[in-house]
Amino acid sequence: MNVTAQSVWSNCLEFIKDNIQPQAYKTWFEPIKAVKLTDKALSIQVPSKFFYEWLEEHYVKVLKVALTKELGENAKLVYIIKMENTYGNKQPFTEKIPSSNRSAVKSQDVDIPLNNKNPELKNPFIIPGIRNVKIESQLNPNYNFENFLEGDSNRLARSAGLAVAAKPGGTSFNPLLVFGGVGLGKTHLAHAIGVDIKDKYPEKTVLYISAEKFTQQYIDSVKKNNRNDFIHFYQIIDVLIIDDVQFLSGKTGTQDVFFHIFNHLHQNGKQVILTSDKAPVDMQDIEQRLLSRFKWGLSAELQSPDFETRVSILKNKLYRDGVEMPEDIVEYVAKNIKTNIRELEGAIISLIAQSSFNKKEVNIELAKQVVEKFVKNTKREVSIDYIQKVVSDYFQMDIDTLQSKTRKRHIVQARQLAMFFAKKLTKASLASIGSQIGKRDHATVLHACKTVDNLSSTDKQFKKYVDDLTKKLTV
């Protein structure tokens, strides 16, 4: 029987398959190719240096046993690392030998000693020069479900988060995309899911990262010619949490690499959690193939909390800080700060600080002063109803006419302007704007915004409409 590199490696794989987890086999052994067999040395090709180091760190024993069974006691395994050059120049293969056999065969073409004091950065989260395969989750334990209070505004997102934490990768909520305006708790919920998973499944590799940091790491990997290492690092994560995914807009290279990482994780039953300030349908300059994947699981919106939830959030904050405050003060703050949770908590912290630093009693007067500063410093977000009223008054028509199905040119233009300003001045989704302005769909709103942009640059009279309304709505 003709013994070839392929036949020896196939037999090794049969043995390895029986001795490790199916998921690990798929991730770490299926991509390997047998290249050549010389005497008792089998050469295998792996995709990157990171890949090789991971095999050496975790699977060297099973590899040694499998190879010894096939080639005897003097068997040697040689790694060929297919170096990827992102600028298109071909580099020579690098051969590496496991530590148990490295004295037997010398590396050819490029020699990177195994005891390199400053290895390439295989884990983007550790300091260069420190050999460490442990992946820190980057989670903040203070952001947990216990202090993420449930209300009508977040019930769906919170419940989905709990379901994912109970069974990561095993629900239909994969990916779970949590979206909503600034300060509504997206980052808190993302961390809470990760923290809960780490508690329930300590063996799982969980990683939280902002899209901005992910992009920077990708750029660094391209500069250092180790894009493969970057990809393989992310492909071994069990639960990947990416915050502010809208930051990837317009960054085609990062989107492309994230697309491949996402596919690998999803196909292998790993959990992906994303946060964004926009619904997928409203994300611009994100490739369609990525957007379609964002919609595979569940998109859950976090909305501004109602009065009861705001009161609960403030009471919980005071309880955690060990501070007592009269009920009427708490209700006054909750009643007057409606925009987001971050401002709500900021106001109560400011109130406590004013009271303790200036030795003032916490009363309604002090609460009014603090809230006034917060409301004054916060850019007022106009409502869609208010925009429709201003536009209707400007064109001397009633709101029912603005919302009607008529195709008369001046009414259509007024409606398009209302949609344009609703998109520009509110955080509402396109679907939400459409439903509130005459029960239209998101595509109509998108078309309206494009039409207003085009007419503003070609029609002087129309530009005057836009300028006049801008003054009325932003004063």
- Cis peptide upstream of residue 175 (ω within 30 degrees of 0): yes
Positions at the binding site: 183, 185-187
Positions at the binding site for ATP: 183, 185-187
In contact, 5 and 37? CB cutoff 8 Å:
yes
| Three-class SS state of 429 | coil
| CA terminus-to-terminus distance, the chain | 87
In contact, 329 and 337? CB cutoff 8 Å:
no
The angle at the Cα of 372, spanning 367 to 376, to the nearest 5 degrees, equals: 155
How far apart CA 99 and CA 112 sit, in angstroms, is 13
For 43, 191, 420, 440, the CA distances from 430, given in Å and listed in that order, are 56, 28, 10, 10
Q: Is 30 exposed, middle or buried (0-12, 13-18, 19+ CB in 10 A)?
A: exposed
What's the distance, CA 416 to chain centroid?
33
179 Cβ contact partners less than 8 Å away, ≥ 6 residues apart: 186, 275, 276, 277, 278, 279, 280, 299, 300, 301, 302
How far apart CA 122 and CA 112 sit, in angstroms, is 15
How far apart CA 348 and CA 473 sit, in angstroms, is 30
